[in-house]
Amino acid sequence: MIRALRLDAPAKINLTLSVVGRRPDGHHLLDSEFALLDLSDRLRLMPGSIGLRMDGEAASGLPLADENLAWRGLVAGLGGDVDRACLALEKRIPSSAGLGGGSSDAAAAWRLGRAWRGLEDAAGEDDLIALARIGADVPFFASGLSAARVTGIGERIEAIDSIQRHVVLAHPPFGLSTAAIFGELRSEEWGRLENDLLAPARRLRPELDGLLEVIAEAGGEPRLTGSGPTIFSLAADAERAGALAGRLRDAGIRATVTRTRVAAASIERITEED
Give dist(CA 264, CA 173) in Å, integer.
Answer: 29
CB atoms within 10 A of CB 261: 21
Q: What is the mean pLDDT of residues 99-128?
A: 95
> Contact 83/116 with Cβ under 8 angstroms?
no
CA 15 from chain centre, in angstroms, equals: 13
Q: What is the mean pLDDT of residues 241-254?
A: 97
Q: What is the mean pLDDT of the chain?
A: 91
Tell whether the model's pLDDT for residue 244 goes beyond 60: yes
Q: What is the pLDDT of residues 74-112, one digit of tens each?
A: 999 999 888 888 999 999 999 889 999 999 999 999 999
The residues pairing with 19 across neighbouring beta strands, listed in sequence order, are 30
Tell whether the model's pLDDT for residue 151 goes beyond 70: yes
Give the domain ranges of the chain: 2-162, 166-259
Which residues have C-beta within 8 Å of that of residue 187, sequence separation ≥ 6? none
| Alpha-carbon distances of 99 from 85, 120, 181, 242, rounded to whole Å | 27, 27, 15, 20
> 273 versus 38: which is more confidently predicted?
38
Pairing of strands 28-47, 268-271: unpaired
Lowest-confidence range among 5-19, 139-153, 172-186?
172-186
Say if residue 229 is preceded by a cis peptide, omega within 30 of 0. yes
Tell whether the model's pLDDT for residue 63 goes beyond 70: no
Lowest-confidence range among 59-63, 91-95, 126-130, 219-223?
59-63
Going by C-alpha positions, the residue among 266, 197, 270 that lies closest to residue 8 is 266
Return the CATH fold of 166-259.
Alpha-Beta Plaits (3.30.70)
Give dist(CA 224, CA 211) in Å, integer.
Answer: 11
2-162 CATH pick, 3.90.79.10, 3.30.230.10, 3.50.50.60, 1.10.1060.10: 3.30.230.10
Q: Do domains 2-162 and 166-259 have the same CATH topology?
A: no
The catalytic residues are: 12, 137
Tell whether the model's pLDDT for residue 193 goes beyond 70: no
Lowest-confidence range among 38-52, 183-197, 204-218?
183-197
Give the chain's largest Cα–Cα span: 60
